[in-house]
Chains A and B, each alone.
Chain A
Amino acid sequence: MNKVRQLDDIVAGIEDGATIMFGGFLGVGSPLRSIEKIVAKGVRDLTVISVVNSYPGGGFDLAPLFSNRQVRRFVTAHTGTCPEAIEAMKAGDLDVEFYPMGTWIEKIRAAGAGLGGVLTPIGLGTLVEDGKQRLEIDGRSYLVEMPLRADYAFIAGHRADTLGNVEYRGVSLNSNPVIATAADFTVAEVNEIVEVGEIDPSRVGTPGVFVKAVVQGDSPTEHQAVFERLWVRTGRLAAPATAA
């Protein structure tokens, strides 16, 4: 049961109008090579579900999907970091559906965990309440938030074994373990693919039962280099001294 696949083969199966979840938070913990391939394929009318949008200022991770107008509907907690998405909104090419971040993740968790929805007080008395059922329980009010799932989930991890067990690293797990549970077809893009048994069971962040395919992303070294370049370019780390 070897789940290792070529990314090109998976992306070839994605059709116009698909609903795709992406893990990651402003590019960190994002399946960068998968996004690139989906951009290159040019599928359109996508519904994209991601907790936030691109790295601030655009031009990275999800941003090209919006500049190419491949996304029709974006389900998120925040989109303001991505100038390309704002332009698409202004042009009438993009609808954005906002949920409070904690509600967004619980809706997906509910879908993956077989729950009928979530009761939350967050958003009461705001625009988030519009069109939603409100329940009174023991004198407190709650909004009913429905489960949220997708055709595909693309997650990013540090390592995976060939059974699809995924190990995360650092703060980059963010939405990945949750969205991995809530799609018909979950793809894990990882920095390193290892043999079964090499990942300590206590370090498995996403059990392989949730994962349909494992694909090779940037190597650990290239992964570090990508973010060093990004953070230096955007002034978040001091630039390296110029070689004499």
Chain B
Amino acid sequence: MSDEAHIVKSYEEELQNLNDSLIKMGSLTESQLADSMEAIIKVDKESADKIIANDAKINELRAKIDNQIMTVLVKRAPMAIDLRITISTLKISHDLERIGDLAKSVAKKIKPLPHDLPKELIGSLRRLGDLVQKQLRNVLDAYLNKSKESAITIWKNDEQVDDLTNTAMNEVADFLGKSKKNLELATHLLFVTKNIERAGDHITNIAESLYYLIEGEYLEGARPKGKDIEKN
């Protein structure tokens, strides 16, 4: 990393604006994910509509970042740390957009839910949602502080996300096993659980991009995975 400023002030501003856009996008995505988790647990159909509508704001920011990056590439031909900032920001913004899409998908599953969630399914789902939200918050903080150590911790923590996903899915399967009437709710919840787990995967992608931004090298080795989770 460099603590010196560019000689050309407008270049400095362009990178600062890019950083600001990404932070704004991160904070919006964080709210959308939090709101979708709250709404699914409460089966809050009104909030679901808002979440679905709000996704457009994240997409707009991604388009704005794409444009800002194209401008930097064309005008500045960035090198070294600037090149890594530019490319990593592009990748991170696309992962944030996907997390936003997944939050929207969770919200979409709320409307057809036939009734409130049974108590026995709420615990694991909430724990999984809380963990993924914490991972997102931490990766955004790590981006702000350019913390390599946090990036590694977040990357490793995906194993816990996988384990909690596994537990939540097993509980839904048990619930389904109790009665055929549970089929509709269980199917929706399986999708929801999988979506949250995939949001976790995008967070680890962000941790990887952040590590590359800081170190100029890729995180070595395969990402740790929880037991019995089928990735797709």
A binds B: no
Task: Tell me the B residues contacting A by CB distance below 8 Å.
Answer: none
